[in-house]
């Protein structure tokens, strides 16, 4: 590659076949949450293959981190779109999700079919405390990033605390918490409060995990590569994307309504997870309280302990953590018998597919519609100030989820009775050890889950509970 390739390097030089193989591979090895997934894309696309420069990669990442939805999947969609137009983005985004969906469906079937076997129950008994500790770690990580600035802390701590109380004690629906937080941020910006001048992210440590690449212009898409024609803003393109996205949402919803009516489980799932997809500021952990409120408390598609089991399965599979919604859909389709008692598995697979479709469709629309407008969104305080408040509120919401999961662990299947409360002391102790390993000794999530699972299995097989 010559020294002056950066002067006129066409985007089309990125080999489509090689890109396709990379996106497929990524779908099967994208463990480690958004930070690990983004770091993997950075290492491969920026450092190894040198398809895209550091600045262009981070420019795309910054935009994805401002959006609701799984930022790693959105980044893959964005980069695929930048390199190979609309179909490149669609392919990259789908391959990021489909392997995880297939694996999670298989694990969900094993769960409902064999979850009562002693060895499976033992593994799950140990994993649940680990899940509670992982959520607690997520609260700590986001809180340390969002609430640690002395100049911003008082107001943002107040927003987080009120959000915690609103969800944990007042049972206020998550969308209202987000709305009030956004209004608080908007008013704070209008009043000139310094607390809302910080640009938020909902990718956690994702950006911090990206190591700087060697400064070099020998990229297929570098800092000087002109914006390709397909990535330039055109009103008719925006209209086409919005109309197509609207049709892809409306047609399946219309079919579900015509088939089972508004009260049907599948239609309710489609509507509920469409709303959830627009509320995922702060990542998957932030929207889980809303999913819990709807799927467990309101619709009864699954139980609280089952929700924890689903999160554990989601943590151990590749792809975005929000794929736990496929587990929710699978168990809801199974328990509600959406295709009748003779087709439990087929109904569960259909429900998981419906949930996944309505959860991820908005992400594709955001990228394909908003990509050409990226330059006009960065650095605008009236746009980022509400998100700063939302990010603070998310800390409180996630804390309420951690408390809820700890309560589920405490009320587990143990027989130890503490002051007549029936508290499961072994499970709580395991949660404490897991939290210590994650927060104090910085052990890996998968290692902690594996050790806890083996401890739970040993405890069950020993007949201790």
Mean pLDDT, residues 278-291 taken together: 73
At residue 309's C-alpha, the angle toward residues 353 and 425, to 5°, is 170
352 pLDDT exceeds 90? yes
Ordered by start, the domain boundaries in the chain are 5-96+204-230, 99-202+236-461
How confident is residue 193, by pLDDT bands cut at 50, 70 and 90?
A: low
In this structure, the dihedral spanned by the alpha carbons of residues 137, 143, 144 and 149, taken in order and rounded to 10 degrees, is 180
379 pLDDT exceeds 50? no
Our measurement of the distance from residue 422's CA atom to the centroid of its chain's CA atoms, rounded to an integer in Å, reads: 34
Instruction: Say if CB 313 and CB 264 are below 8 A apart.
Output: no
**pLDDT given at position 120:** 76
Instruction: Say if CB 50 and CB 220 are below 8 A apart.
Output: yes
What are the structure tokens assigned to 389, written together?
């408040």
364 pLDDT exceeds 70? yes
What percentage of the chain has pLDDT greater than the value 70? Answer: 79
CA 372 to each of CA 71, 241, 314, 381: distance values in angstroms, whole numbers, following the listed order: 17, 12, 33, 20
> What whole-number distance in Å separates Cα of residue 201 and Cα of residue 216?
27
Instruction: Say if CB 45 and CB 80 are below 8 A apart.
Output: no
**pLDDT given at position 416:** 47
**pLDDT given at position 206:** 43
Radius of gyration of the chain (CA): 23
252 pLDDT exceeds 80? yes
- Which of the pair, 129 or 386, is modelled with greater confidence? 129
What are the structure tokens assigned to 176, written together?
């209202």
**pLDDT given at position 196:** 63
> What whole-number distance in Å separates Cα of residue 189 and Cα of residue 191?
5
* CA torsion through residues 23, 25, 30, 36, sign: negative
Query: pLDDT digit string (tens) for 290-323?
Result: 888 899 989 999 998 898 888 878 877 878 878 8
Chain mean pLDDT for the chain: 80
- Which of the pair, 392 or 374, is modelled with greater confidence? 392
Query: pLDDT digit string (tens) for 169-187?
Result: 887 876 788 788 888 888 8
Mean pLDDT, residues 391-413 taken together: 78
How confident is residue 432, by pLDDT bands cut at 50, 70 and 90?
A: very high
**pLDDT given at position 9:** 40
> What whole-number distance in Å separates Cα of residue 250 and Cα of residue 325?
20
395 pLDDT exceeds 90? no
- Which one of 1-15, 48-62, 66-80 scores highest in mean pLDDT? 66-80
What are the structure tokens assigned to 100, written together?
């995880």
Mean pLDDT, residues 56-82 taken together: 83
Mean pLDDT, residues 20-24 taken together: 91
Mean pLDDT, residues 25-46 taken together: 77
What is the per-residue burial (b if ≥16 Cβ within 10 Å, else e) of 216-249? ebebbbbeebeebebbeeeeebeeebeeebeeeb
419 pLDDT exceeds 60? no
**pLDDT given at position 195:** 59
**pLDDT given at position 301:** 96
**pLDDT given at position 7:** 39
How confident is residue 353, by pLDDT bands cut at 50, 70 and 90?
A: very high
């Amino acid at each position: 590659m010559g020294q002056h390739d950066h002067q006129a390097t066409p985007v089309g030089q990125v080999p489509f076949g090689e890109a396709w193989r990379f996106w497929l591979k990524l779908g099967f090895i994208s463990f480690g949450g958004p930070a690990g997934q983004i770091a993997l894309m950075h290492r491969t696309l920026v450092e190894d293959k040198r398809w895209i420069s550091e600045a262009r990669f981070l420019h795309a990442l910054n935009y994805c981190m401002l959006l609701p939805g799984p930022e790693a999947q959105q980044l893959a969609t964005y980069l695929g779109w930048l390199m190979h137009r609309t179909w490149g983005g669609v392919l990259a985004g789908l391959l990021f999700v489909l392997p995880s969906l297939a694996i999670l469906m298989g694990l969900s079937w094993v769960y409902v079919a064999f979850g009562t076997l002693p060895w499976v129950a033992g593994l799950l008994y140990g994993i649940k405390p680990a899940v509670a500790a992982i959520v607690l770690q997520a609260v700590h990580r986001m809180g340390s990033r969002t609430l640690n600035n002395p100049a911003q802390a008082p107001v943002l701590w107040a927003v987080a605390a009120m959000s915690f109380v609103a969800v944990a004690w007042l049972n206020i629906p998550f969308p209202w918490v987000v709305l009030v937080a956004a209004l608080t941020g908007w008013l704070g910006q209008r009043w000139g409060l310094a607390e809302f001048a910080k640009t938020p992210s909902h990718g956690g440590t994702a950006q911090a995990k990206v190591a700087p690449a060697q400064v070099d212009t020998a990229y297929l898409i570098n800092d000087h590569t002109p914006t390709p024609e397909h990535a330039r803003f055109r009103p008719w393109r925006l209209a086409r994307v919005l109309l197509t996205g609207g049709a892809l949402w409306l047609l399946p919803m219309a079919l579900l309504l015509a088939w089972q009516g508004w009260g049907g489980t599948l239609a309710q799932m489609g509507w509920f997870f469409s709303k959830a997809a627009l509320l995922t500021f702060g990542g998957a952990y932030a929207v889980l309280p809303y999913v819990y409120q709807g799927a467990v408390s309101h619709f009864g598609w699954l139980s609280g302990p089952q929700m924890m089991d689903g999160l554990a399965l989601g943590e151990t599979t590749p792809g975005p953590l929000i794929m736990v919604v496929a587990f929710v859909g699978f168990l809801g389709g199974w328990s509600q018998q959406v295709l009748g008692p003779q087709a439990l598995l087929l109904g569960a697979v259909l429900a998981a597919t419906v949930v996944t479709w309505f959860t991820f469709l908005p992400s594709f629309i955001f990228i394909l519609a908003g990509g050409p407008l990226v330059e006009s969104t960065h650095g605008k305080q009236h746009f980022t100030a509400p998100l700063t408040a939302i990010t603070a509120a998310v800390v409180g919401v996630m804390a309420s989820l951690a408390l809820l999961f700890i309560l589920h662990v405490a009320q587990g299947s143990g027989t130890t009775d503490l002051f007549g409360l029936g508290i499961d002391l072994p499970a709580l102790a395991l949660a404490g050890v897991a939290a210590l390993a994650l927060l104090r000794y910085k052990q890996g999530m998968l290692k902690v889950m594996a050790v806890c699972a083996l401890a739970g299995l040993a405890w069950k097989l020993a007949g201790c509970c």
